[in-house]
Amino acid sequence: MANGRNNKLKVGVLASGRGSNLQAIIDASEKGGLAAEVICVVSDITDAYALERARIHGIDAVHVNPKDFANKQEYEKQICRHLKEHGVELVCLAGYMRIVGPHLIREFPNRILNIHPALLPSFPGLHGQRQALVHGVKFSGCTVHFVDEGVDTGPIIIQSVVPVLDDDDEETLSARILTEEHKIYPQAIQFIAEGRLELRGRKVLLEKAETESHYPAIQNPGVEI
Ligand code: GRF
């Protein structure tokens, strides 16, 4: 159970839906040697399955209803209070269907990550998989990036590539991409936990590991990690 009594990086997750990426992070933390743990989960949707997943693992899970607040800033202030009360050091958006506003970004500078189901900067916004199919690309994939004030525009940490097959539909392509999402999101969090990422302008540089990592690094084409 996440209890904050160890020195793992404390992660807060914002999610609006089924929470399979949340689950991948929890699993990597509980069984996979991830140097981070999910401390709390916040959802803007009252019955998001992500909340249920968190509770099953004994993780604090709350619904914060945007409609209860006068504006986005007040809503985000409440989320921020909650995250800070729990000592959250890194915020991970995992299927969070809202654009993060300046308040949260200011409170967690370069400490908010997002996962997107396309190879950014291609196909940002909603339905990245559908956009890829409509465009007719031969490869797509997923991207973990830092969150800035744009929509899926922040510096890219890690990407994974999958082929787009002639007979793919949105469902089959999404499933192939999702398998990769579940690998690269925990990997990106591990890089942050190990303090190995250096932000140089738009570029995210990965420093060599100082000691041998206990986390089984994923194989990403062309990237020696
Ligand atoms: C994922 O495809 C993610 O890339 C996108 O929203 C979806 C969330 O899925 N941002 P889940 O809730 O993590 O299962």
User: Do both 137 and 188 map to the same domain?
Assistant: yes
Residue 190, domain member (yes or no):
yes
Count: domains in the chain: 2
Question: Residue 23 maps to which CATH number?
Answer: 3.40.50.170
Amino acid letter at 151? V
User: Do both 148 and 223 map to the same domain?
Assistant: yes
**H helices of 32-126, where?**
49-56, 72-85, 102-107
Q: Which atom of ligand 1 is nearest to the CA of 20?
A: 14
Evaluate: CB of 95 within 6 angstroms of ligand 1.
yes
Ligand 1 centroid distance, CA of 94 (Å): 6
Evaluate: CB of 94 within 6 angstroms of ligand 1.
yes
Residue 200, domain member (yes or no):
yes
Whose CA is closest to atom 6 on ligand 1? 95
Q: Which atom of ligand 1 is nearest to the CA of 181?
A: 4
* CA dist., res. 140 & res. 137, Å (int): 7
* CA dist., res. 192 & res. 113, Å (int): 10
Residue 217, domain member (yes or no):
yes
Evaluate: CB of 180 within 6 angstroms of ligand 1.
no
Q: What is the pLDDT of residue 209?
A: 82
Ligand 1 centroid distance, CA of 97 (Å): 9
Instruction: Give the burial class of 219: count Cβ atoms within 10 A of its Cβ; 0-12 exposed, 13-18 middle, 19 or more buried.
Output: exposed
Q: What is the pLDDT of residue 3?
A: 42
Domain that holds residue 198: 120-225
* CA dist., res. 52 & res. 147, Å (int): 25
Residue 114, domain member (yes or no):
no
What 3-state DSSP class applies to 70? coil
Domain boundary among 109, 141, 167: 109
Residue pair 170/180 in contact (Cβ under 8 Å)? The answer is: no
Whose CA is closest to atom 12 on ligand 1? 19
Mean pLDDT (10-residue bins), the chain, 225 residues: 68 98 98 95 98 98 98 98 98 98 96 98 98 98 97 98 98 98 98 96 91 63 47
Evaluate: CB of 182 within 6 angstroms of ligand 1.
no
Q: What is the pLDDT of residue 208?
A: 87
